[in-house]
Amino acid sequence: MNVQFPMLFKLKNTAKNTVTHCGVLEFIADEGLVYMPSWMMRNLLMNEGDLVTVESVNLPVASYSKFQPQSVDFLDISDPRAVLESTLRGVACLTVGDVIAIEYNSKIFELLVLETKPSNAVSIIECDMQVR
């Protein structure tokens, strides 16, 4: 078996034909189960207990990403760039069309991933990425 690190995965809800990408924090779920954050389940249009296909993938390293806040409240943050950069340190991949959730001061802010380069799905682990 040829395992590459970081371990990245393509998740697909075949019932809704939706796809996203992710890394793994730890392998603690029982065999046949996957734990994922609620915002990722929303991206896949899934409910708890739905089936998801998991496939190991290699993604290019991001050089650029563009986000769109889903609420003007995000602009009320004193330093939104710093908050975004801090949050992205805990994210392994970005997929165009996904909405990521940022928790700040007990509020949840959502950002739509509008664009990523060099492809529509990228790894953002230990990368130098231009953000807009």
pLDDT digits (tens, 9 = 90+) for 9-52: 999 999 999 999 999 888 888 998 999 999 899 999 999 999 99
DSSP assignments along 13-68, one per residue:
ETTTTEEEEE--S---SPTT-----HHHHHHTT--TT---EEEEE--PBPSEEEEE
Model pTM score: 0.90
Provide the Cα torsion 97, 101, 16, 125; round to 10°.
70
Mean pLDDT of the chain, nearest integer:
92
CB atoms < 10 A from the CB of 88, how many? 20
pLDDT of residue 116: 98
**φ/ψ of residue 43, rounded to 5:** -60, -35
Residue 4 scores a pLDDT above 90:
no
Two tokens, residue 130: 């231009």
pLDDT for res 126? 87
**Cα 77 off chain centre by:** 21
pLDDT of residue 15: 95
pLDDT in tens, 80-98: 989 999 999 989 999 999 9
The pLDDT, as a whole number, for residue 1 is: 60
